[in-house]
Amino acid sequence: PLVSGKVLFEKANEYNFAIGAFNFNNMEFLKAILDAAEEEQAPVFIQTTESAIKYAGIEYLAGMVHAVKDKYSIPFALHLDHGKHVETILLAIRHGYTSVMIDYSDKSYEENLKVTKYVVSICAALGISVEAELGKLVSVEDEVVSREEVLVDPEQAKEFVDRTGIDALAPAIGTAHGAFKFKGEPKLDFERLKKVKELTGIALVLHGASGVYEEYVEKINKYGGDIKGAKGVPDEELKKAVELGINKVNTDTDLRLAFISKLRELMALEKKVIDPRKFLKPAMEEVKNIVKKRIRLYGSQGKA
Ligand code: G3H
Ligand code: 13P
Ligand code: NA
Ligand code: ZN
């Protein structure tokens, strides 16, 4: 059933595991994610960004979810990922989202605090969970920015959590969105993560967590793509982050890579096929497989 994100955040925080949060903007990804979670008997977040809403229309996205919600026995939340405008938060609420992220991380700390507090005041009354972000998800390897400038400040995180009443915090600890996360060795700031957890005790969210697995990158490059140098968060690093208090892991890029690698392969090999389903079905299967793999990695299988 569709549940509030509050239920999921609380459970994962209490039992020290992480729940998978997967992005979708079409039927194929949505079905792959929910089918995978059902097979693994795992709670899950399904989430859409503002650009996903712009792409498909919120009526299609929320409509699909509400149409199928009773087919699934696992608890899952419909979450707005990186809500940058209060208007989008309200739109999501109107369409039955059960969790939202207000992302003012690129604004000043004071503005972030003020707007997040306002969103919590609305959502608390509706039983909708609120996630917010502190620090910036940019590559800290570029010498232009220092780590202290972009990564979360643990003391500030404590104050922010106390003053806003959010359900979950996404602390910037060195990951970045997309398929090119690190130029050199991947390095997450585990000390910082540990401090944030100790000081806040709140459910924590890791963004930019995709593994960017070699098999997909190779296949994409082999069949006409060009994403050389793509690199993600290794499984061992991710496991460590979960041990240190991450309770929701956001994955989008891995699903895209899985889907596109299968699509490129089939479109290169099956030259007579013109029925899109002959391509989309196997690509959807590939997404389902990676979602299952990720769910097991976080330890959320069987936790429904
Ligand atoms: O926020 C992180 C997403 O992976 C980017 O999603 O392309 O739907 O904005 P988007
Ligand atoms: P990836 O790009 O690593 O999949 O991160 C997705 C994310 O953080 C969505 O909010
Ligand atoms: Na989010
Ligand atoms: Zn993100």
- C-alpha 275 to ligand 4 mean position (Å): 34
The residue-averaged pLDDT of 210-229 equals: 98
From 253, 257, 260, 290, the mutation candidate for ligand 2 (largest count of ligand atoms within 8 A of CB) is 253
Could you say which ligand is closest to the alpha carbon of residue 89?
A: 3
Going by pLDDT thresholds of 50, 70 and 90, the confidence category of residue 96 is very high
From 188, 237, 252, the mutation candidate for ligand 2 (largest count of ligand atoms within 8 A of CB) is 252
- C-alpha 172 to ligand 1 mean position (Å): 16
Nearest C-alpha neighbor of 77 from the set 114, 32, 46, 36 = 46
In the block, tokens 């991947």 appear at 186
The interface predicted TM-score of the complex, written ipTM, equals 0.97
Q: Which domains does the chain have, with CATH numbers?
A: 5-298 (3.20.20.70)
Task: Quick: pLDDT tens for 261-284.
Answer: 999 999 999 999 999 999 999 999
Neighbours of 235 (CB within 10 A): 13
The residue-averaged pLDDT of 221-241 equals: 98
CA distance 71 to 135: 38
Q: Please name the residue whose Cα sits nearest to atom 3 of ligand 1.
A: 252
Residue 176 has pLDDT above 90, yes or no: yes
Residue 141 has pLDDT above 80, yes or no: no
Which pLDDT value is given to residue 144? Answer: 60
Which pLDDT value is given to residue 133? Answer: 98
Could you say which ligand is closest to the alpha carbon of residue 178?
A: 2
* Catalytic machinery residues: 81
Q: Specify the DSSP class assigned to residue 69.
A: G
Ligand 2 atom closest to the Cα of residue 179 is 2
Which pLDDT value is given to residue 16? Answer: 96
Q: For residue 160, what are the contacts with CB-CB under 8 A and spacing of at least 6?
A: 109, 112, 113, 116, 132, 134, 166, 169
Residue 139 has pLDDT above 80, yes or no: no
| 156 contacts 123 by C-beta, under 8 angstroms | no
- Three-class DSSP category at 14: helix
The residue-averaged pLDDT of 274-302 equals: 98
Proportion of the chain above pLDDT 90, given as a percent: 94
CA distance 281 to 61: 19
Which pLDDT value is given to residue 142? Answer: 60
Predicted TM-score of the model (pTM): 0.97
Residue 134, class by beta-carbon neighbours within 10 Å (0-12 exposed, 13-18 middle, 19+ buried)?
buried
The length of the chain is 304
Least confident stretch, 21-25, 144-148, 170-174 = 144-148
The residue-averaged pLDDT of 40-63 equals: 98
